[in-house]
Amino acid sequence: GDDFFNPAAGSAGCRDVDCVLSSAEMLEFIEARGYSSLAAAPVVEPDIEPPFSTLAAGGSFTYAAPGASGGHADFVFRQAARELFGIDVPAGPLPWVAGRNADLQELSLEHGGATVLRFCRAYGFRNIQNVVRRVKNGRSPYHFVELMACPGGCANGGGQPRPPPLEAPSRAAAVERRLVEPDETSECAPLDQPCVQAMYGEGGFLEGGPLGPSAQQHLLTQFHAVDATSVNPLAIKW
């Protein structure tokens, strides 16, 4: 379809996504070439330093945000607190509070004796349905909701290498703990990364900042309603 087609990129246009390679497929690719693990496979050093380097100016390793799903909700929460209320949220894991289950979590910001921001992370279809139902009924207290179909987030996604069935929940939890554990790296806000500043700076690919014309053209999308059509299951050709 045309959902990932960018007609503005030249006369012929281009696709935003050419290929998607999951970690499970990558593991199969490595094993098919006779290697038992990723660590056993040879490493080919690039001729030039990658643009998205994890080295800070001082030479220390950095990370943008912890978590099994990229820390996007954490980033939005920190930026909203700073831009809307002038509050710099301290570095480190944010105090997400589990709701009815571990895959439904809430985070709030208190300011002036009132709750001024309320965020939600809902993973898995059952939690997503409950949150969407509250939004439709006008009973949602949230200012921002992060939805993911995979229970447990990306660490438990369908494209990840598959552990034995009984080990799947504990394996996903172990990955989550490892990603949020402090180590020798230092935290660096995404917008403070040198490569990001270069893209948003003068002459960069996204010159003008996160909300500038170039960023809106290349990074934002438009949502449209899809009309439901009734299809006779017997008429479907497989």
Which helix (H) or strand (E) element contains residue 6? strand 5-6
- pLDDT of 77 over the 90 cut: yes
Q: Are 204 and 198 in contact (CB under 8 A)?
A: yes
Q: Which of 44-48, 57-61, 217-221 has the lowest mean pLDDT?
A: 57-61
- pLDDT of 219 over the 80 cut: yes
Domain range annotation of the chain: 1-44, 50-64+191-217, 65-187
Q: Which of 47-51, 53-57, 171-175, 208-212 has the lowest mean pLDDT?
A: 53-57
Q: Which of the two residues, 75 and 60, has the higher pLDDT score?
A: 75
Exposure string over 201-235, b if 16+ CB within 10 A, otherwise e = eeeeebeeeeeeeebeeeeeeeeeeeeeeeeeeee
Return mean pLDDT, the chain. Answer: 78
Determine the average pLDDT of the residues in 64-88: 82
pLDDT per residue as tens digits for the range 98-142: 998 989 999 999 999 999 999 999 999 999 999 999 999 999 999
CA-closest candidate to residue 148, choices 111, 108, 103, 113: 103
The reported pLDDT for the residue numbered 70 is 65
Could you say which architecture CATH assigns to the domain 65-187? Answer: 3-Layer(aba) Sandwich (3.40)
Q: Are 108 and 92 in contact (CB under 8 A)?
A: no
Q: Which of 61-70, 74-83, 103-112, 172-181 has the lowest mean pLDDT?
A: 61-70
pTM of the model: 0.67
The reported pLDDT for the residue numbered 136 is 92
pLDDT per residue as tens digits for the range 168-200: 566 666 666 665 565 555 566 677 777 788 888
